[in-house]
Copies of this chain bind each other. A is one copy, B any other.
Amino acid sequence: MSQQKRILVGQSGGPTCAINASLAGVIAGAGEKNVRPVGMRFGIQGFLDGRTVDLAEAVPNEDALRLLRDTPASWLGSCRFKLPDPEADPEFFARALERVEAAGVSAVLYIGGNDSMDTIAKLARYGAREGSDVRFVGVPKTIDNDLVQIDHTPGYGSAARLVATAVSEVARDADVYDLKSVTFVEIMGRDAGWLAGSACLAHPDLVLLPEVPIEADALIARIEALLAEKNTVVVATSEGVRTPDGRLVAEGTVAPGTGTDEFGHLAQLSGASRYLAALVKARLGCKTRAVELSTLQRCGSHCASKTDLDEAFELGRMGVREALEGATGIMCSLERTQDDPYAVRYRTVDVSEVANQVKPVPSAWIAPDGMGVTAEFERYVRPLVGPAEPIALDGGLPRQMTPLA
């Protein structure tokens, strides 16, 4: 066994429903290539503290691999750790590379979002400079879907499935009484509206995105017009919606056209939906409600998209193949070749072009009044949310992989 090649894999950043599917793909890919997968506990930070796990032992068979695929959050543990610049702190990288080489691995795969791709870009740059043979490959994930150089990120489709499903169900719940009401459903995504926009599949009345500042008077007028036609108004609201002066509504900013005194107490409230619900109640006097979908958006594996998990798995598997074939400083990526029937092509991109970039929802996909998304957005997101992943149950509840000790 001492001759068997080894690869190192880690998970980083916020957890998703699909990040373990990519890990399962890495483990499966390693098995196919007869290399031994070693996991970083708690990302690069845990690895630098000497914490690893032998994944061939910890995930010994197909059943375990399947359970891992369908288990939410980062099974290996995660970290939020921004590496210094190799040029500014070469000693850090010398130690890191020494650790990697001491672990006897020929490749490092890192599953994560923006910061994780930055980690891979820096390690690859330093490794190349030092003439190291170790390959560095990024495997993308983020529910925010804000990475560039990829059609969409693993984790997004499952989160979008939960969001669209929940919005459609909350809309039914909101509509049972014979009275006027406005319900704000708050959706994750502080800087980009991809996840809030996915609510379009449930056809809410309005969709508010971080990309377009909210003008309170215009919003109130629009809601008032809707209430003239129907009882129940549902607004899908990004947690990152902003006022025209650029501040987060969630910070309790007093909306233009309302008195600071009158709404001074709103500054105490957290959350965009709570703020907007209080604002509409004060201005229009109707019943309002704020529903935060909260953490379940990123960990609701019971509602996962099979397309999402399949792609996440394949990107992990591909990462092993690419690394063993000698690629480094790359991210495994997806290019959509057609919408209907949906098809993607797997390809690699330069990870340094991904790191530290953010992809907002394009203006052309946002409704002219800034309070909705277009049919193009719907066409984009629809194939990503389905079909449902057939989750194995135990006593009626989803089975999950046993946590690592």
B396 touches A168 (CB 8 A): no
A11 and B161 alpha carbons, distance in the complex (Å)? 29
Closest to A80 in B: B177
Looking at chain A, what size class is its interface with the partner chain?
A: 35 or more
Q: In the complex, which residues of chain B have a beta carbon less than 8 angstroms from the beta carbon of A164? A: 397
Contact residue among B41, B175, B178, B387 (Cβ-Cβ distance under 8 Å from A46):
B178
Q: How far is the CA of A76 from the CA of B26 in the complex (A)?
A: 50
Cβ of A305 and Cβ of B170 under 8 Å apart?
no
Docked CA distance A298–B79 (Å): 34
Determine if A292 is an interface residue (Cβ-Cβ < 8 Å).
yes
A388 (CB) vs chain B CBs: closest residue: B393
A295 touches B170 (CB 8 A): yes
Tell whether A42 is near chain B: CB-to-CB under 8 Å. Answer: yes
- Whether A77 pairs with B292 at a CB distance below 8 angstroms is no
Residues of B with C-beta under 8 A to A149: none
Q: Tell me if A173 counts as interface (CB < 8 A to partner B).
A: yes
**A268, A291, A299, A397 pick with most chain B CB within 10 angstroms:** A397
| Stretch with Cβ within 8 A of B (4 or more), from A66-74, A189-197, A322-330, A355-363 | A66-74
Cβ contact of A178, chosen from B42, B165, B202, cutoff 8 A: B42
**Main SS of the interface on chain A?**
mixed
Interface residues of A in 91-120 (CB under 8 A from B): none
Query: Contact string, A237-275, partner B, CB cutoff 8 A, digits 1/0?
Result: 000000000000000000000000000010011000000
Residues from chain B with a CB closer than 8 A to the CB of A168 are 397-398, 400
How many identical chains are in the complex?
2
* Given the contacts A74-B176, A77-B178, A169 and B301 also touching, CB distance less than 8 Å: yes
- State whether A293 touches B296 (Cβ < 8 A): yes
Fill in one digit per residue for A61-92: 1 if any B CB lies within 8 Å of its CB, else 0.
Answer: 00000000001111001111000000000000
Give the docked Cα–Cα distance between A385 and B11 (Å): 33
Across-interface contacts of A291 in B (CB, < 8 A): 294-296
Task: List B contacts of A293 (CB < 8 A).
Answer: 294, 296
**Is residue A223 contacting chain B, with contact meaning CB distance below 8 A?**
no
Verify B400–A382 contact, CB threshold 8 A. Answer: no
5 closest pairs, A vs B, by CB?
A386-B396, A173-B299, A73-B172, A268-B268, A78-B176
- Residue numbers of A with Cβ under 8 A of B are 11, 15, 41-42, 45-46, 71-74, 77-80, 161, 164-166, 168-170, 172-178, 201-202, 265, 268-269, 289, 291-296, 298-303, 305, 382, 385-388, 393, 395-398, 400, 403
- Known: A77-B176, A291-B294; 9 extra A-B contacts, CB below 8 A, are A15-B172, A72-B169, A73-B173, A164-B397, A172-B403, A293-B294, A296-B296, A305-B396, A385-B397
